Amino acid sequence: MKRPMTLETPSDQPPVNGSIDAATLELLASWRRQDATDDPEEIRAAEQELAEFKKAMNDARILLRRAPPLPVSRFLFLDSGPLGLITHPQRTEEVIVLNERLALWLLNGNLVVVPAIVY
């Protein structure tokens, strides 16, 4: 996209977060110089391209506001360690608490997955 020649030079810009990355600023300045133009048609085309880009960004933002929230994962993957605690024959307090939490998880419609390698 072509830009008008009236853009600021890197030395006119305030430092970001109190630091100056001279190499990056010089690279950006060189890109500005490459894209600089005083051709009214190129400037008009660049402004139109920018306006279309802004409209597309705003349209996407509006659609995302209307979209339903993403679902939280409803899967619990049990590796051999947690699975061993849940199925442990000695009913310690830890085993009982884990089994209660697992039962609540399942009652809320969630799923438990045990990888085949654990069997």
| pLDDT (tens digit per residue) in 12-44 | 555 555 566 788 888 888 988 888 888 999 889
Query: How confident is residue 118, by pLDDT bands cut at 50, 70 and 90?
Result: low
Number of domains in the chain: 2
Its domain, for residue 104, covers 75-118
| Cα gap 79→82, rounded to integer Å | 6
59 and 81 in a common domain: no
Task: Reply yes or no on whether the pLDDT at 48 is more than 90.
Answer: yes
41 and 13 in a common domain: yes
| Cα gap 43→3, rounded to integer Å | 6
82 and 49 in a common domain: no
60 and 30 in a common domain: yes
Task: Reply yes or no on whether the pLDDT at 108 is more than 80.
Answer: yes
Long-range CB contact pairs, 16-24, < 8 A, 24+: none
Q: DSSP labels for the chain?
A: --EETTPPPGGGSPPBTTB--HHHHHHHHHHHHHHEE--HHHHHHHHHHHHHHHHHHHHHHHHHHHSPPPPPP-EEE--HHHHHHHT-SS--HHHHHHHHHHHHHHHTT-EEE--GGG-
Per-residue pLDDT tens digits for 49-89 = 989 988 888 888 777 676 666 667 788 888 888 888 888 88
Full-model pTM? 0.38
Residue 44 near residue 4, CB atoms below 8 Å: no
